[in-house]
Chains A and B, each alone.
Chain A
Amino acid sequence: MYIEEGRIKLDKSIHQHLTTYHDPCNYGRKSERTFGHGYYEEPRWVTQQCCENFVEMYPNRANNFCCGAGGGAWAAPYVEERIFYGRVKAKQIKDTGAKLLIAPCHNCRDQIMKSLRKEYDMMDVEVKYLWELVADSLVVEPKEGGSDEEE
């Protein structure tokens, strides 16, 4: 991938806060069941290329709790239930003491950033997509040649 091949360079000094990572069900459990590989370690590695201070939520990886808005719940009318569902996620996040949360999935990010932070009094936790973290850590250099990658 880009980072390993040195096609992009990242600056760790930009994100110094304690950072944690949320496992989306689609990248983890569901990929594991559907494709035989759960993406648990790859995003952690990428996160840690951008952040020195990293902490895990518990439980994590295949046993991680859903954000509460999966399966279309973010677009469904059952708002109260969605927030109730998210209480477990909110506690997991708070327990880490992290001030930056990486949520790669659109849905998880919206639920945590736009709903759970407000509902569970954790507005001091910043939420970013994984690619947002990478984009914000980029060291932009004058143009050279190159080839490829994907998350």
Chain B
Amino acid sequence: MDPLLLSKREKRTLATQYADLCLTCGTCAGGCPVTGVDGLDVRKAVRLVLLGMEQELIDSRFPWVCTLCGRCEHACPMGIDLLAMLRSARGKRARDKVPGVLHKGVQMCLKTGNNVGIPKEDFLFLLEDVGAELAEELPGFEVPLDKKGAKYLFTINSKEPFAEPEDMFYWWRILTAANESWTVASENWEGVNWGLFTGDDEAMKEIVGRIVKNYKELECEYLVLPE
């Protein structure tokens, strides 16, 4: 192993303003359930960054096995922005090297408006269909679609229409019981933004922008992301 020349280290590219402040106390790693997986932990991740070995961190599984839960950051006595650092390590991965389905979901969402690619007509049919099912219990119930001027605009987690549509009954029941004014959008209704997880700021911004556009066009008072 060649010695590392600190005088020659490359400029940092990961997003952390405060990593230099690290005291190496290990409070972060001590309270983290994935410390030690692949021989890494949060404290070591900070060392890699500070020693100019960012690429090792980017190529490792650690930023992905970490759940970005923020317990380390909450406990850090120096207030180091550990989550921004780890998330940006995810963002520096080539997109075709993003693990699993996450980046495919982002691409699908940009293309179709939801992470699993449910076509609009199928979505509308499903809402009508499960709405009718709930109407057996709550006479007159139907899902208020694109209702202009509704008080609340709700986004939907695509896993519900995709796999567990009856789980939507819970919030529909509450809103109905409270006699609330609410709506869902017929397009770009996805509330799960995987750009957050893949470190993809651009995609994240685009997806959020579409939700805000719905919210403005439908002239709703509040936006609710029940995620």
Which residue of B33, B75, B174 contacts A138 across the interface (Cβ within 8 Å)?
Answer: B174
List residues of chain B with CB within 8 A of the CB of A66.
33, 67, 69, 71
Interface size class of B (residues with CB under 8 A): 35 or more
Tell me if B6 is interfacial: C-beta within 8 Å of chain A.
Answer: no
- What residue of chain B has the Cβ atom nearest to residue A138's Cβ? B177
Summed over the interface, the residue pairs from A and B with CB atoms below 8 Å come to a total of 131
Q: Is B123 an interface residue (CB 8 A)?
A: no
**B-side contacts of A87, CB under 8 Å:** 33
Assess the B64–A78 pair: CB atoms within 8 A. Answer: yes
Is there contact, CB below 8 Å, between A144 and B179?
yes
Interface stretch, picked from A12-20, A94-102, A115-123, A126-134, is: A126-134
List the one stretch of B10-18, B49-57, B219-227 in contact with chain A: B219-227
Chain B nearest CB, measured from A118 CB (Å): 18
Contact-residue bracket for chain A = 35 or more
How many whole Å from B96's CB to the nearest CB in chain A?
A: 14
A44, CB-defined interface residue at 8 Å: no
B181 closest partner in A (C-beta): A148
B28-62 residues with Cβ-Cβ distance < 8 A to A are 33-34, 37, 61
CA gap between A148 and B224 in the complex, in Å: 13
Residues of chain B within 8 A of A68, CB atoms compared: 33, 67
B92 vs chain A, min Cβ distance (A): 16
- Given A33-B70, A106-B159: A75 touches B65 (CB 8 Å cut-off): no
A140/B71 in contact, CB under 8 A: no
B-chain residues with CB within 8 Å of residue A41 when the two chains form the complex: none
Instruction: Please tell me if the beta carbons of A70 and B171 are within 8 angstroms of each other in the complex.
Output: no
Cα–Cα, bound, A146→B181 (Å) = 10
| A70→B67 CA distance, assembly (Å) | 5
Q: Is the CB of B70 within 8 A of A7?
A: no
| Closest residue on chain A to residue B180 by CB atoms | A148
Hey, what's the 0/1 contact readout for B159-192 against A, CB within 8 Å counting as 1? 1000000010111011001111100000000001
What residues of chain A lie closer than 8 Å to B74, measured between beta carbons? 29, 33, 62-63
Report A's interface with B, CB cutoff 8 A.
2, 7-8, 25-26, 29-30, 33, 62-73, 75-78, 81, 84-89, 105-106, 129, 131-132, 134-136, 138, 140, 143-146, 148-151
